[in-house]
Homo-oligomer: A and B are copies of this chain.
């Protein structure tokens, strides 16, 4: 009956809060199992308020995905534009970042790989891929110039490399398989060297060097 205290906030802030809550809940229970009522409860706001900021439930998902993609794109750009690294180093860094996809959000990888979050996976992939491909392409071109790679079609090679890392990364959702992947890292890198026309063994050196 009594409206309760009406707290107005900067719309941007409110919206961000809602996306934050949504993200946390999506991680916890998945998109489908997260109710709008869950989100507003977490923020401490009325049901209707949600619809002042998003036209539908799907729109938060969209907004969340956008945010994630933006962060990711920035990260990519930073690596790409780093003048102090050669193409091979950049390549390793990008691969690593894109494999985790998380940018500090460690749970995200699991989130993405859980079956019930397939849609989210799709949304993210569709949005991230273009910038990822672009970045990869440019790094490959840099590598060509540096004489490290020998790639006639950089764009296609970029796509191929992405496909390869994704395919190997897929199995990685199971934590148990991580060590196995590590074991076969050498073999995978051998393949990538072939694709990029790099000298055998050079990638592995860089991987080791860049630690972790």
Chain A residues packing against B (C-beta within 8 Å):
1, 10-11, 115-116, 118-119, 121-123, 152-153, 156-157, 159-160, 162-168, 184, 187-188, 190-191, 194-195, 197
Contact = CB atoms under 8 A, between A and B. Distances in A.
A182 to B, nearest CB: 13
A96 to B, nearest CB: 17
Q: Interface residues of A: mostly helix, strand, loop or mixed?
A: helix
A191 B160 contact: yes
6 contacts: A118-B118, A118-B119, A156-B184, A156-B190, A157-B191, A159-B164
Given A165-B163, A167-B162, A167-B163, A191 B156 contact: yes
Contacts of A187: 152-153, 156
A116 B195 CA distance: 34
Contacts of A191: 153, 156-157, 160, 195
Contact of A160 (B11, B159, B188): B188
A159 to B, nearest CB: 5
